[in-house]
């Protein structure tokens, strides 16, 4: 804990100097910077090699902080009460007097916001007088990081500091829900869509393609940059084979996402497994058919985009 406190202090120093810091969240690690600063947020785009038109998610400690920047509505409050802090992001209208840098929104009048539940990052946010813009801490189109080591692998010495919060518990990005007009899900993620639907008690649309061209909606994303084939029963001899559940007989090229068909556990292990396979230098990946329900839907969404790499 003592160590954590001094690391948080160090992180604040870097952030106050408009530097980027790697931060742990329950979904994936983020590449964070002061969302009110154009200098700081420009550095995020540069480090990630992210197209400028892709807006960033901004991370807040609580509603009080959020109210400075966004217009709040009833459905948002209902969802916030149930799911935040946690793995869900909301698209809201931005207030005219908001100090959020135009880099973050790409000049649009909407803002993606999130309240991460990871203790270390909440502790950090509580001590800042600005929110943190933080996309996933990976180079654009590549695999999202779920540990400090993963972030280091992405940016090496270009990033001065990464807070170590252990392995991300959810392991896939937050669910994004737009509350601008009729509520709709824009990205599947840490809270399954059917759960939100059940809670809200009305039909919730899922819009795969957003008008905003965003990394989460680009064709190739979440990719180890290795050829990847889906719904495979029999892999080739030298191909990495991803299984949904552990088999009695595991060959050296077999990798399982969960011990027993648990889709939540499988989602948690997805990016970790893809990164492991990449580091083992496999030239191609085959994936067993994954049930398309609950967290299986999220896994299939990410793998589908990764499979567009040729």
DSSP H helices, 127-211, are 148-155, 193-200
Residue 18 binding partner per list Mg ion, ligand TXA, none, with a CB distance cut-off of 5 to 8 Å that depends on partner kind? none
- Phi first, then psi: what are they for 175, rounded to 5°? -70, 135
Q: Which of 214, 164, 168 is nearest to 190 (CA)?
A: 168
Residues 179-208 that bind ligand TXA (CB under 6 A): 186
Handedness of CA 277, 283, 289, 292 (dihedral sign): positive
Q: Which of 270, 47, 276 is nearest to 156 (CA)?
A: 47
Asked if 176 is part of the footprint of ligand TXA (rule: CB under 6 A), the reply reads yes
Q: At its nearest, how many Å lie between ligand TXA and the CB of residue 269?
A: 16
Asked if 269 is part of the footprint of ligand TXA (rule: CB under 6 A), the reply reads no
x/- letters, 105..144, toward ligand TXA (CB under 6 A): ---x-xxx-x-x-----------------xxx--------
Q: Which of 35, 212, 43, 41 is nearest to 113 (CA)?
A: 35
Nearer to Mg ion, 101 or 136 (CB): 136
Asked if 163 is part of the footprint of ligand TXA (rule: CB under 6 A), the reply reads no
The helix, strand and coil proportions of the chain, stated in percent and rounded to the nearest 5, come to 35, 20, 50
Distance CA 91, CA 256 (A): 35
Residue nearest to ligand TXA (CB): 214
Residue 25 binding partner per list ligand TXA, Mg ion, none, with a CB distance cut-off of 5 to 8 Å that depends on partner kind? ligand TXA
Single residue of 191, 212, 244, 277 touching ligand TXA by CB under 6 A = 212
Q: At its nearest, how many Å lie between Mg ion and the CB of residue 144?
A: 6
Angle at 29 between CA 23 and CA 32, to 5 degrees: 45
x/- letters, 123..162, toward Mg ion (CB under 5 A): -------------x--------------------------
Q: At its nearest, how many Å lie between ligand TXA and the CB of residue 213?
A: 8
Nearer to ligand TXA, 138 or 258 (CB): 138
Nearer to Mg ion, 191 or 286 (CB): 191
Q: Which of 53, 60, 52, 46 is nearest to 18 (CA)?
A: 46
Reduce the DSSP state of residue 176 to 3 states and report it.
strand
Residue nearest to Mg ion (CB): 136
- Phi first, then psi: what are they for 294, rounded to 5°? 50, -130
* Sequence-ordered list of residues with C-beta below 8 angstroms from that of 155, at least 6 positions apart, any chain: 22, 31, 47, 137, 139
Q: Which of 187, 94, 92, 132 is nearest to 12 (CA)?
A: 132
Single residue of 7, 34, 54, 258 touching ligand TXA by CB under 6 A = 54
Q: At its nearest, how many Å lie between ligand TXA and the CB of residue 109?
A: 9
The site for ligand TXA (CB under 6 A) is made up of 25, 27-28, 30, 54-57, 89, 91, 108, 110-112, 114, 116, 134-136, 173-174, 176, 186, 210, 212, 214-217
Query: Which residues of this protein are in contact with Mg ion, per CB under 5 A?
Result: 136
């Amino acid at each position: 804990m003592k160590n954590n406190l001094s690391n948080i202090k160090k992180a604040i120093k870097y952030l106050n100097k408009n530097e980027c810091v790697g931060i742990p969240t329950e979904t994936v690690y983020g590449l964070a910077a002061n969302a009110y600063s154009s200098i700081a947020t420009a550095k995020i785009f540069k480090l990630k090699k992210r197209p400028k038109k892709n807006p960033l998610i901004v991370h807040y400690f609580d509603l009080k902080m959020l109210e400075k920047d966004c217009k709040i509505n009833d459905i948002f409050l209902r969802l916030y009460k149930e799911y935040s802090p946690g793995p869900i992001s909301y698209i809201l209208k931005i207030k005219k007097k908001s100090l959020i840098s135009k880099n973050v929104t790409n000049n649009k009048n909407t803002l993606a916001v999130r309240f991460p539940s990871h203790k270390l990052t909440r502790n950090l946010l509580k001590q800042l007088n600005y929110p943190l813009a933080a996309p996933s801490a990976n180079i654009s189109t590549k695999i999202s990081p779920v540990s400090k080591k993963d972030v280091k692998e992405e940016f090496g010495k270009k990033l001065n500091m990464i807070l170590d919060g252990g392995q991300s518990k959810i392991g896939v990005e937050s669910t994004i829900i737009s509350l601008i007009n009729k509520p709709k899900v824009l990205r599947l993620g840490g809270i399954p869509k059917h759960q939100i639907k059940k809670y809200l008690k009305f039909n919730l649309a899922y819009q795969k393609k957003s008008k905003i061209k965003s990394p989460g909606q680009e064709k190739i994303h979440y990719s180890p940059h290795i050829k990847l084939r889906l719904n495979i029963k029999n892999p080739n001899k030298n191909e990495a084979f991803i299984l949904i559940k552990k088999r009695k007989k595991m060959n050296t090229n077999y990798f399982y996402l969960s011990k027993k068909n648990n889709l939540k556990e499988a989602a948690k292990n997805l990016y970790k497994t893809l990164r492991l396979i990449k580091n083992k230098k496999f030239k191609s990946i085959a994936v067993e058919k994954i049930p398309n329900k609950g967290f299986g839907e999220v896994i299939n969404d990410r793998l589908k985009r990764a499979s567009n790499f040729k």
